[in-house]
Copies of this chain bind each other. A is one copy, B any other.
Amino acid sequence: MSELSSIVGVFRNRDWINTQEWTREELDKILDASFELKEKFRQGVKHNLLDGKTLFLIFYNRSLRTRNSFEAGMTQLGGHAHFLDPKDAIYTPALPGDEVAYTTERIADVARVLARYGDGIAIRIYGKHTNWIYGRGNLVIREFAKWADVPVINMECDMYHPCQAMADIMTIIEKLRKPQGKKFVMSWAYTPSVEKPLAVPQSAVLITTMFGMDVVLAHPKGFELDPQVLKWCEQNADEHGGSFEVSYDMEDAFEGADVVYPKSWWSQDFVPPKVKTPDFEGLAQLFNKNKRWICDQGKIDVAKKNAIYMHCLPADRGFEVTDDVIDGPRSVVFDEAENRLHAQKAIMAMIMG
């Protein structure tokens, strides 16, 4: 454990909200630690780097991977994670103005109290819990970070999913060795559910441009990502020697790809602040016009022969992707899911240690 213990507290007390707030060198350090922790886990070597420490997990939204990888990760690090359901287990943490007597509690108060009991606060919030107002989930997380003097971890908001991004790049490195110069395609895909946030695609294009990949973002018109994210992607590409472009054709985009990552997200045109209230009918119509955006074997065949298929899961099988692709030889989705565990353990040990 001698080498491993050297990662504890390397980034003590920093918040983990968006990878773009971290330098490439810092992210490399986290990745090194992630790979080392993965190897120790494989060997069954104990690594109690956060012995007796507590992480609070506040899940406004459902979760399988995130909750279980954080909770198991804390156990493996010698600590414990509290699963907190803000619906009826605790007083729902709320921004000023959203408060209801004896039902909610101001985030400033929740954050300051929890910081006295434990060592980190992690939050997932998007969709209906933010009234579908883009950016409000991120605002909630930043409000926690403002008041808590323990590190705050973004477990997916409406803007970013930085833990997924770390697992994604880790998986790409495992499968392709060097990301630099490889073609990465983040593509929209159809699903009957119109409620998936932009967090995964935004964090995916940010991290892959940061690692010098040739990134193509593909989606039908109307599914544009946040302009700020696009700007950062161009900056990243400039700085790190990759490229970034947008395509409106899934098949074109897949051509010659090393990595394809097709998944669904909603359209900003039908949710606040662009419109006053979310227009689910409009969303459904736009979605239904694009049912052919499915990742099937035909589309995969235009990518490179050894191209990999990625998805953050849960995948809507039969819509976003066909069974033969997600269960096929190019799919790396379970390695990708597993890497959540290792990347998050590295992040926790480094900021909470």
Q: Indicate if the CB atoms of A52 and B75 lie closer than 8 Å.
A: yes
Closest 4 CB pairs of A and B: A102-B193, A116-B338, A101-B193, A105-B314
Cβ-based interface call for A83 (8 A): yes
Scan residues 75-119 of chain A and give those whose CB is less than 8 A from a CB of chain B: 75-76, 78-80, 82-85, 87-91, 99, 101-103, 105-106, 108-110, 112-114, 116-118
Cβ-based interface call for A316 (8 A): yes
Known A63-B89, A64-B113; contact A314-B102, beta-carbon cutoff 8 A: yes
A: which residues have CB within 8 A of B? 46, 48, 51-54, 56, 59, 62-65, 67-69, 71-73, 75-76, 78-80, 82-85, 87-91, 99, 101-103, 105-106, 108-110, 112-114, 116-118, 191-193, 195-196, 313-317, 319, 327, 333-334, 337-338, 341
Smallest CB–CB gap between A314 and chain B, Å?
4
CB neighbours of A110 from chain B (8 A): 64
Smallest CB–CB gap between A217 and chain B, Å?
22
| C-alpha spacing A80/B76, complex, angstroms | 9
When C-beta atoms are compared, the residue in chain B nearest to A77 turns out to be B52
CB neighbours of A80 from chain B (8 A): 71-72, 75, 80
Q: Indicate if the CB atoms of A102 and B72 lie closer than 8 Å.
A: no
When C-beta atoms are compared, the residue in chain B nearest to A76 turns out to be B52
When C-beta atoms are compared, the residue in chain B nearest to A82 turns out to be B71
Q: Indicate if the CB atoms of B102 and A89 lie closer than 8 Å.
A: no
- Point out which of A68, A89, A99, A193 has the most chain B C-beta atoms below 10 A from its C-beta: A68
Known A101-B316, A105-B313, A316-B101; contact A79-B90, beta-carbon cutoff 8 A: no
Q: Indicate if the CB atoms of A72 and B54 lie closer than 8 Å.
A: yes
Q: Indicate if the CB atoms of B75 and A319 lie closer than 8 Å.
A: no
| C-alpha spacing A116/B52, complex, angstroms | 23
Choose among B69, B73, B91 the residue that contacts A314 (Cβ–Cβ < 8 A): B91
When C-beta atoms are compared, the residue in chain B nearest to A105 turns out to be B314
Q: Pick 18 A–B contacts, CB within 8 A, sort by A.
A: A46-B52, A52-B76, A53-B75, A54-B75, A62-B91, A63-B90, A64-B91, A64-B110, A71-B82, A83-B83, A85-B89, A91-B314, A102-B191, A105-B314, A109-B313, A109-B333, A112-B337, A113-B313
Q: Indicate if the CB atoms of B90 and A317 lie closer than 8 Å.
A: no
Smallest CB–CB gap between A106 and chain B, Å?
6
